[in-house]
């Protein structure tokens, strides 16, 4: 047990929790930016069996964040390289290679062989597929996502808790997309979020601490802020019995969603421009601060209240930093609202740039 000496010395952990890690089987979806730190730390800490689902090869553009790979690895299978190097890190762990994309044909069979699923994918289609397959197979889902300088972490489908669809109810339909790679990502961000995912996975396996069940944690690396939002479980989202016929795999940002700066929003509010400002934050956030005249509908309820939205006038969607509002704006565009804007930077940017008297959080 010398390898795990520093964690087995921890009060509340000890050899008993280490044994639980060694008995556990974890499936990691993706061996890229998020997947690399998850795989490295779960391997180092001694999770007994780790499955890796990945079908991509190393590209030079991966290297500023996927630190398991090197310049000489370009064009080589990520999953093969990852398994080989992780074995060098800890030969006591069994690494199971699944050199394939996750699909509706293989998801259920793959998930049934593991105890916990960690979603390190980079597109909406896979996230909904992972969620639905976890609900059907009864597996806890450790979720992570990144966007520009912000990341999200949660634990879904755990102990009768909320699922991914409880906060993001519907997957976008197919359409004209912008490539996720065009948005960019700060190299350190997936490392931070992936470490949080690994931590939540260990908590779920061993029972230590309090996992992010019914909670979504957001981390803003630019402004050093971290928030945890409550998620209300929706019973119907746990009643999924079959996978859909198709999950759009490349959804990142709809072409119809336009960006609106807080300066532009201020101009709209001052002028006679006819538009609706839709605030999709949670109730406790709204009570702390909001822009007068905005309509408040929490993100999870927007799709049930689209009748309250104008069919023709522009809709500007705002949240805390702009990540949740972007997802809502994307979905509204898919539903036929053709003049939808995402307020970049959200209420945080409004308070920083426009209204320095606003008390935020």
> What are the catalytic residues?
180, 319
Q: What is the dihedral of CA 150, 57, 330, 104, to 10 degrees?
A: -120
SS3 state of residue 90: coil
| Eight-state DSSP code of residue 272 | -
Residues 6+ apart with CB under 8 A from 43: 50, 86, 89, 90, 93, 95
Backbone angles phi, psi at 348, to 5 degrees: -65, -45
Buried b (16+ CB within 10 A) or exposed e, 117-141: bbbbbbbbbbbbbbbbbbbbbebbb
- Angle, helix 14-23 to helix 188-206, in steps of 10 degrees: 110
Q: Which two tokens stand for residue 199?
A: 């931590």
* CA angle in degrees (0–180, nearest 5) for 148-326-59: 35
SS3 state of residue 190: helix
| Eight-state DSSP code of residue 273 | -
Long-range contacts of residues 283-286, Cβ cutoff 8 Å, at least 24 apart: 284/230, 285/229, 285/320, 285/347, 285/361
Residue pair 143/155 in contact by the 8 Å Cβ criterion: yes
CA distances, 4 to each of 18, 86, 141, 190 (Å): 8, 16, 25, 25
Backbone angles phi, psi at 308, to 5 degrees: -80, -5
Residue pair 194/120 in contact by the 8 Å Cβ criterion: yes
Residues 6+ apart with CB under 8 A from 324: 280, 281, 299
């Amino acid at each position: 047990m010398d390898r795990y000496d520093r964690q087995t010395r921890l009060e509340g952990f000890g050899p008993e929790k280490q044994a639980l890690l060694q008995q556990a089987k974890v499936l990691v979806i993706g061996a890229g930016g998020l997947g690399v730190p998850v795989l490295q730390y779960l391997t180092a800490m001694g999770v007994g069996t780790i499955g890796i689902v990945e079908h991509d090869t190393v590209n030079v553009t991966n290297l500023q964040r996927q630190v398991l790979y090197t310049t000489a690895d370009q064009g080589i299978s990520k999953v093969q390289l990852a398994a080989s190097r992780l074995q060098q890190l800890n030969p006591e762990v069994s690494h199971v290679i699944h050199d394939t994309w996750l699909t509706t044909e293989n998801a259920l069979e793959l998930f049934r062989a593991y105890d916990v699923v960690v979603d390190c994918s980079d597109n909406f289609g896979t996230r909904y597929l992972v969620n639905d397959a976890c609900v059907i197979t009864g597996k806890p889902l450790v979720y992570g996502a990144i966007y520009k300088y912000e990341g999200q972490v949660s634990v879904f489908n755990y102990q009768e808790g909320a699922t991914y669809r409880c906060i993001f109810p519907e997957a976008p339909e197919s359409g004209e997309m912008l490539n996720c790679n065009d948005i960019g990502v700060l190299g350190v961000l997936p490392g931070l979020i992936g470490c949080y995912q690994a931590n939540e996975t260990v908590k779920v396996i061993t029972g230590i601490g309090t996992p992010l069940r019914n909670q979504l944690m957001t981390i803003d690396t630019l402004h050093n802020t971290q928030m945890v939002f409550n998620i209300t479980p929706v019973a119907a989202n746990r009643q999924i019995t079959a996978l859909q016929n198709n999950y759009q795999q490349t959804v990142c940002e709809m072409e119809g969603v336009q960006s609106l700066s807080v300066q532009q929003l201020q101009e709209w509010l001052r002028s006679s421009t006819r538009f609706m400002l839709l605030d999709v934050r949670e109730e406790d956030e709204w009570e702390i601060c909001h822009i007068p005249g905005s309509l408040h509908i929490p993100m999870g309820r927007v799709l049930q209240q689209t009748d309250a939205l104008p069919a023709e006038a522009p809709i500007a969607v705002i949240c805390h930093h702009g990540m949740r509002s972007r997802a809502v704006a994307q979905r509204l565009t898919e539903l036929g609202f053709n003049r939808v804007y995402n307020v970049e930077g959200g209420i945080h940017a409004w308070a920083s740039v426009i209204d320095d008297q606003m008390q935020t959080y």
